[in-house]
Amino acid sequence: MKAGSYVMGIDVGSSVTKGVLLLDGQILSNFMLPTGTDLDATAGECVRRLLSDRGLTQKDILYTVSTGYGRTQVKEADRTITEITCHGRGAKALVPRAELVIDIGGQDSKVIRLDEDGMVADFVMNDKCAAGTGRFLEVMAERLGMSLLDFGRMWKTARKPASISSTCTVFAESEVISLLSRGIAPDEIIRGLCDAVADRLLGMVHRVGLVPDVVMTGGVSKNEGVRLSLEKKLSLKVVVPDASQFAGAYGAAIIGHELAMRN
């Protein structure tokens, strides 16, 4: 590949679409926007913004890899790769010592074990319900009338977690209402909710095998409360890189870079 070649990775997630532009394998820029209902248009908008910010056109792009649940809707893509492989590659690039990736997105969660080369050695995904996903936390935050960004602060002020027995979004919502009516403090409920998500992930982590260097990616990685609950339950530190939300798009772009080199 000649110097100055550009490669793109586009991750069309269920809630947010992310894009990463690489120049000679290094991150040049990134962009994200809500996915909405028209996946095709959203992906196109993401591509346009990445290009226009750098004064580029589609002709300047050597290779594009799309990933995420809307990966097949990206017209500009030369290849589609699943988000499992892309998150693994992206996390390894962001945190080179990463061995285990916990990716929690809008509608699913995945635990990915990496081998020494950063390739996927094993993975598990949640079942089809919203339990343990970003959507679950969004619904609960809405019910409690607060922002997801408040979760970390409130987790720390809680004396103990409230007991939330269900991770079914509908049942847990009624549990939250019941806890509020019993006068349980909102911070304890939030900590209970974060624990419920972490409990759900714990089983998945042990299915692929717990290894020490754990990295969290996806939108929920920015939720400090869930990270704290996970760290407590796993008894180890969970690393959240700055660009954790872009891990999938970054991984897609890295694979695109490799494929372009191979071609």
Contacts with other proteins, residue ranges (CB under 8 A) = 69, 81-85, 108, 117, 119-125, 127-128, 207
Whichever of 180 and 211 has its CB closer to other proteins, that residue is 211
Q: How far is the CB of 71 from other proteins (least distance, A)?
A: 9
Q: How far is the CB of 149 from other proteins (least distance, A)?
A: 28
Q: How far is the CB of 100 from other proteins (least distance, A)?
A: 15
Whichever of 49 and 200 has its CB closer to other proteins, that residue is 200
Whichever of 1 and 125 has its CB closer to other proteins, that residue is 125
Q: How far is the CB of 128 from other proteins (least distance, A)?
A: 3
* β partners of residue 21: 8, 29
Whichever of 225 and 248 has its CB closer to other proteins, that residue is 248
Whichever of 121 and 243 has its CB closer to other proteins, that residue is 121
Q: How far is the CB of 119 from other proteins (least distance, A)?
A: 4
